[in-house]
Structure formats: C-alpha cells, structure tokens
Amino acid sequence: MTAHSLDHGLETLAASARAELVREIDASGAWDADPAWREVFEAVPRHLFVPYYYVGIVGGYERRSGDDPDPRRREQWLRGAYEDAPLATLVRDDELVSSSSQPSLMAQMLAELEVEEGNTVLEIGAGSGYNAALLAHRLGDDLVTTVDLDPEITESARQHLTAAGYHPAVVTGDGARGVPERAPFDRIIATCTPVSVPVAWPAQCRPGARILAPFGTGLISLRVSGPGHAEGRFLHTPAYFVPLRGGTRVEPEPQYLGGLPVRARGHELFRFLLALTQRSLDPYEAYVVWEREERPARERFGITVSGDRSWAWLDDPKGPYTWPLP
C-alpha cells in the first residue's frame, strides 16, 4: 500500500481529518483576508504530498510512512499529515533540509499574497509540492512556477503533484536567481528564508506585483513599484523557515548576549530586531534602540529594495533608524 492508494477506511479518515484541519484553520482567522482559500484547502489532499515524514525524537528523527506494514502506524502517519504542524520531509545526516510548512501559516501567507485571477506566481522553495498544488488549484497549472536548488526535492515534488493531478512548472535551480525564463511574475512567495531580498525577485516582477517572504523571524510583504524597486512592512506574525540555499550566502556573525538583561535575551521581538540589524548594530546598540522605542512590534519594521541595495527600517524608510542588509 502506498500513500497514493489508501484503503477505504483510511480514505474516510483522510477526508475527516482534512475537514477538521480546515475547521481549525478557519477558526484561527488565517484566511480572513481571502476566504476563497478555504475551498482550496478542502480540495487538495495534504497526505499525497507527505507520503512519509520525520518526527523528532531523542537523538534524531523517526520516519512515519503510508507504506508502513503496521496498520496502526499507517493511521498515525495519516493523522499526523493533517495536523496543523510543519512536517520534516527531507533529513540528511540528522539535519533538516526540507519540510511541509504549518498549514495555517501557509493559509495566512497565501491570503496575504492577494492573488487575482490570471496572476502568474513564482514559489521559491518547492518543498513537498503542497503549496504549489494549492496555488495551481486556485489559479491553474500554467500560471504557477515552483523552484528549488535540490534535484531530489524537485523530483519528489513533481511526483507528488502528478499523483494529485496538478502540473505546474517545477524548476531545479537557484531560487535566489528567480526563474527568468518564466518571468515576469505578478506574485512571488518564498517558503525559505533569505539573508536579504535577492535583486532578481523584484527585477522579474511586473509593476504592482507583491513579494511575500520569510525574513529573520518574520514575514515581509513587499510591493514592487518598478524594475528592481520594492518596499513594504512586516506582518505581525512570527515565522520560522529553513534557510534559502544557493546564491550568495552571508552567514550570521555569532553574537554575545550575555551582558544584556534576561528580558531582552529571551524576548522574541528582540531576537527579531537582532536578525534585522546584525550587520549594522552590535547587540548592545540594538538593545538601546529596542528600549528607546518601547519594544517595537514587527509591523513597525519594513524593508526597501532599490536596485542592488536593500535596507531595513523602523517606522520610516527615510527615518533615523535604517540598517543596510547584506
């Protein structure tokens, strides 16, 4: 038995579990900005995109699979596929390489993307293929492109998409460089975290396009105003994704926080500020800003991209608090 050929009992369970997941996402308010995504999540079966996944255990990961000979473990796999939780889908040497994101966060990101009929969408980070399937169900196969650097990831995503009846363009390549042969795009959505906004992304967008991407521990929503120019603010929600691989990598410098008050070291919003300013401010200067500005929430921060330059800012892109990004 495979994840694509469930017996009748598990098919019934899958339908029930998917309906429960949709109700849970609905209650969270994740797609309030665009309720049309509810029907999409009802229609696309997540279990087809995670025929196996890994759960963390002491000392490593445990594999759960729809091919498990034990019927109880197959049921455990299926129930887990419909939990509102991220699922590790590729682990190498005990390191997480790829995952299927938390469905409610995916729903919020898709709603914030503000897609319209006829929009062309580029997804950075193919993952399991589930997000590309959701986009293809809403917009149509021909308008959706997903790219990933890892050929193992793109091949498995392509197989999952085919099994579920979707055929968007699946490209093996460096997501930081976009997909110029499929440009221009009306929307770009990233499911992995870059260290800066790659210049190729706004350059491959039409004016008025939207770019939504994880950054630090948040989600930045950028509006493209012209070739190579984009600006926007962070959403209020925290977000944690695997790093974008490829392109020019600028590794974070280690930061010593021992001399700072405990309330800052452990505060999630202070960590967010550190992620934005790590190349410009040492942690003690960042702490002064954080306290002076009364511990600002994510929505007060933004990013501006202009050609090959980009910078983060607090409140105003031309205000006193701006920090160049790598």
Catalytic residue, from 98, 100, 101, 128: name it. 101
Tell me if residue 28 is catalytic.
no
Establish if 241 belongs to a structural domain.
no
| Residues 79, 160 within the same domain | yes
Q: How many domains does the chain have?
A: 2
Establish if 102 belongs to a structural domain.
yes
Please give the torsion angle defined by the CA atoms of residues 235, 237, 238 and 241, in that order, rounded to the nearest 10 degrees.
-70
| pLDDT tens by residue, 150-182 | 999 999 999 999 999 999 999 999 999 999 999
What stretches in the chain show pLDDT beneath 50?
A: 1-3, 248-251, 253-254
Predicted local confidence at residue 3, as pLDDT: 45
Predicted local confidence at residue 212, as pLDDT: 98
Establish if 178 belongs to a structural domain.
yes
Domain that holds residue 302: 262-324
The CATH number given to whatever domain includes residue 28 is 3.40.50.150
Predicted local confidence at residue 58, as pLDDT: 66
Predicted local confidence at residue 255, as pLDDT: 62
Predicted local confidence at residue 61, as pLDDT: 81
CB-count burial class (<10 Å; 0-12, 13-18, 19+) for 24: middle
Predicted local confidence at residue 265, as pLDDT: 82
Sign of the dihedral defined by the CA atoms of residues 187, 191, 197, 200, in that order: negative
| Residues 223, 287 within the same domain | no
Contact criterion met (CB below 8 Å) for 121 and 147? no
Q: How far is CA 154 from CA 114, 128, 173, 207, 295, in A?
A: 26, 8, 9, 29, 41
| Residues 214, 297 within the same domain | no
Which of 196, 218, 234 is a domain's end point?
234
Predicted local confidence at residue 4, as pLDDT: 52
Predicted local confidence at residue 59, as pLDDT: 72
Predicted local confidence at residue 315, as pLDDT: 97
